[in-house]
Structure 1
Amino acid sequence: MKSKYVVLASALLISVATFAQKDQIKAAEKALKGGKSQEAATILAEAESLLSNASDAEKAQFFFLKGNASLDLATKKVNADKNLEIATVAYKNLMDVEKASGKVKYTPQAVTSMKDIKFSLINAAIADSKIDKHSESARKLYDAYLLDKNDTINLYYAASTYVNAKEYVKALELYENLKNINYSGKGTSYFAVNKLTNEEDFFATAKERDLSVKLGTHLKPRNEVVPSKRGEIYKNMALILVEGGKTEEAKKAISEARLSNPDDTSLVLTEANLYLETKDFETYKKLIGEVLAKNPNDADLTFNLGVISGNAGNVADAEKYYARAIEIKPDYINAYINLAALKLEAERPIIDEMNKLGTSAKDMKRYDVLKLQRENIFKSVIPSLKKAYDLDPANKDVAKTLLNVYSALEMTAESKALKAKM
């Protein structure tokens, strides 16, 4: 008989707990409706220990209220990061419960709320990045990706931000994810000028942008081609692997990427750069030849070859590629700037030697030779700098460099005219 009383007492306890939990859920709902989110969150925290005895419907309602209370607190800037995390977990638990039970009531609202969380995370990540809190920014971007895995660009931004945070192990992990889904990022961005702000707004689709233009809220629509990001992804992977002494793994990763994406020239450039880093110049030249054969009139590609050659100390090739980029695209301002900078690099050893010379007749004679060489370098960069300045008069670095060249060559009239424009 005693065992029967024990069973009866246990059932009574469960019943009492269930009623208590129902009352707490109702109280939390009332508090939330009254705008008392913190009170609702506190009530739900007290009720959570009794959740195992609740029905699926009650569990779903509990998680729904918990998510709403936490999201409202985050919106009100109350421990925002933690509450966004709590809300996300609560909504996921809610959807799991309703999926398992086959009865959907709160899931559609939870999905909408999770979209709000996603955008809150992205905005918070942007704010963190602006104040150099890169680790926090990267984590939030990754959380945003986990909320919507179809929006893969957040995974890409998270990986890049982990690089900025110098958390290379985590960055490599995310880059591996991007590699596994064969992420490209290539596409088209759509813009139009907002009539109210006079600033360009971004649109996810051409349809949305064109509708705004048609409604008269925007004007000057334009498209911008977004190039493939695979080259950057594999370049960063390779750099991280090489830094860790895993050069062969880096080569293998890029080689596999090229097999999957044979037409992506950014990957060829990345592979070429890797072989350049490891001083395998023959393979480097072979890969560069492949790139040029496929895209002889690609100004951006030719410019990149100039950058790679310049970084390798191959001045002649770099100068050739920059000149070719300008030939293909006469208004390629960065090619003019880099060409001038490349030539000005030759001034350093001249200055070093001049500073070491004494006052003997031999040294003075050598000084005059070096001075003439230096002047010839300055004269050779004037056309590139002038063109760059004409293309972008607001570029202070270009203007300052050109002014210094004029001063060094004692071109007083040109110097005064340039100063008048600055």
Structure 2
Amino acid sequence: MKTKVILMAAMSFALVGFAQKSEIKTAEKALKGGDAVAAKTALDGASGMISGADEKVQAQYYFLRGKTFADLAKKGDNSAFDEAVSSFQKVIEVENASRKLKYTSETRQHLQAITADLVNSAVEDNGNKKFKEAAEKLYMGYKISPQDTTYLYYAASSAVNGGHYEMALEYYDELQSIGYDGGGVVYKATNVSTGEVEAMDKVQRDLMVKSGSYKDPIDENTPSKKAEIVKNAALIYTQLGQNDKAVEAFQKARADNPDDVNLVLSEANLYYKMGDKDKFKTLMAEAADMAPDNADLHYNIGVINMEQGNLEEARVSYKKALDINPGYTNAQLNLSTTYVNEGNGLIDEMNSLGNSKADIARYEELKEKKDGLFNQGANVLEEALKSNPDNQGILTQLKNIYGAMGDNDNFMRVKKLLGE
């Protein structure tokens, strides 16, 4: 009796194995006929007992399942990407354990194809403002191909664009943990037939130039993205109300990269957003010492000084910016404005004076000082016009200064230049 039970169990197991192979064969046939839905149905029928099958059957099952879901994904079922990837990865896992690598090589090729499909689909999602979906696909592409860390970087960017800040923060943290830099060299050359500048790998570029089909090779350095990643992570912390973590992120990044002026600028910008303008000014001055020939730095230091009413310090910074870049229009306009603002600051006192002899004397003294400041502001803009005679912003501000001074001749001259 016991023998019969054992025999029945063995026969039952054999029937299950036969059923699995039948379903797999049906799925394979359906897939060859282009019917991925029917293939999926057949494979679902075999899934219940696949864990008990031998490694050869398991590998075949997961390989067909990967191909089936990859086909469904290619046909528009975005939810199929994840199943395709996990199935193909299972093939590699099973065959590595059994050391029978029948499907592994082809599986790796399919994974590469899926990665390309994921990236192309993510590009389309970004164009349609489906940023979360794009981020998830790019992250999946990175997990399939971890050496392609740029996918992770763009996944974070997509998440930020969609306002999915916690997701982006996870990606930025992972980028920092793997030491992602993002800098490097892009190899370019001009296509002789089209005139277009194209990027390619160095070996290909050099061969194309040597063949004569491309010319003018250029090695273009791309900057490191470490500062940008830290800045974005810190801004997300700020967005989430976690300013302490934002400050901590910058402190750690600057300790690791003490000579990176972009990190100093980004940290300064954080303090500005937090309302700590004194710290902002300190950091901007530090950045200016690190990059003394950066006109934008001096200009921004001037802006914050002007906002705080430190007009003399603002002028020093604007003049430094103009020494570096004499045609810096915004610096010219703001330098002029420092004189106008100081002159305007005298008007309240002038209006408060009475008609006594002392008050009249004081009024004349203040008026002379005010007009002198307005003249200084006008002189800055007159000098700017010599190299930029048609700038509407300069002309408009100059017209307003002459109008406030009551200088009708110059007012009408500038008004004519404006075409009014």
Asked which structure has the greater CA Rg, the reply is: 2
Q: Which moved more, 1:45-54 or 1:24-33?
A: 24-33
Structure 1 match to 2:180: 183
Q: What is the rounded CA distance, in whole Å, between the counterparts of 1:123 and 1:325 in structure 2?
A: 44
Which amino acid letter does the alignment assign opposite residue 142 of structure 1? Y
Please give the root-mean-square deviation of Cα atoms over the aligned residues, in Å.
Answer: 4.2
Q: What is the rounded CA distance, in whole Å, between the counterparts of 1:260 and 1:200 in structure 2?
A: 36
Going from structure 1 to structure 2, the CA distance change for 1:248 and 1:73 (only over 3 Å counts) comes to: closer
Structure 2 match to 1:303: 296
- From 137, 142, 147, the equivalent of 2:139 is 142
Structure 1 match to 2:366: none
Does residue 94 of structure 2 align to residue 94 of structure 1?
A: no
Structure 2 match to 1:221: 217
Give yes or no for contact 1:59–1:97 (8 Å, CA) kept in 2: yes
Structure 1 match to 2:355: none
Q: What is the rounded CA distance, in whole Å, between the counterparts of 2:315 and 2:302 in structure 1?
A: 9
Going from structure 1 to structure 2, the CA distance change for 1:233 and 1:45 (only over 3 Å counts) comes to: same
Q: What is the rounded CA distance, in whole Å, between the counterparts of 1:206 and 1:382 in structure 2?
A: 51
Structure 2 match to 1:20: 19
What is the correspondence of 1:6-405 to structure 2 with a 5 Å cutoff?
Answer: 6-75=5-74, 77-79=75-77, 81-195=78-192, 197-203=194-200, 205-297=201-293, 299=294, 302-303=295-296, 306-307=299-300, 310=303, 313=307, 328=324, 336=328, 338-339=330-331
Give yes or no for contact 1:339–1:384 (8 Å, CA) kept in 2: no
SS of residue paired to 1:263: coil
Stretches of structure 1 that go unaligned for 5 or more consecutive residues are: 350-369, 391-398, 417-422
Going from structure 1 to structure 2, the CA distance change for 1:282 and 1:166 (only over 3 Å counts) comes to: same
Give yes or no for contact 1:336–1:384 (8 Å, CA) kept in 2: no
State the Cα deviation string for residues 345-382 of structure 1 (Å, max 9, x = none): 99xx9xxxxxxxxxxxxxxxxxxxx9xx9999899679
SS of residue paired to 1:190: strand
Aligned length: 383
Q: What is the rounded CA distance, in whole Å, between the counterparts of 1:121 and 1:231 in structure 2?
A: 28
Q: What is the rounded CA distance, in whole Å, between the counterparts of 1:382 and 1:84 in structure 2?
A: 64
Q: TM-score, normalised by structure 2?
A: 0.75
State the Cα deviation string for residues 218-237 of structure 1 (Å, max 9, x = none): 33332322112222212222
Q: Which moved more, 1:309-318 or 1:246-255?
A: 309-318
> How far apart are residue 198 of structure 1 and its match?
4.0
Give yes or no for contact 2:227–2:263 (8 Å, CA) kept in 1: yes
> How far apart are residue 323 of structure 1 and its match?
6.5
> How far apart are residue 91 of structure 1 and its match?
0.9
SS of residue paired to 1:292: helix
> How far apart are residue 15 of structure 1 and its match?
0.7
Give yes or no for contact 1:31–1:37 (8 Å, CA) kept in 2: yes
Q: What is the rounded CA distance, in whole Å, between the counterparts of 1:105 and 1:321 in structure 2?
A: 70
Q: Percent identity?
A: 35
Going from structure 1 to structure 2, the CA distance change for 1:240 and 1:43 (only over 3 Å counts) comes to: same
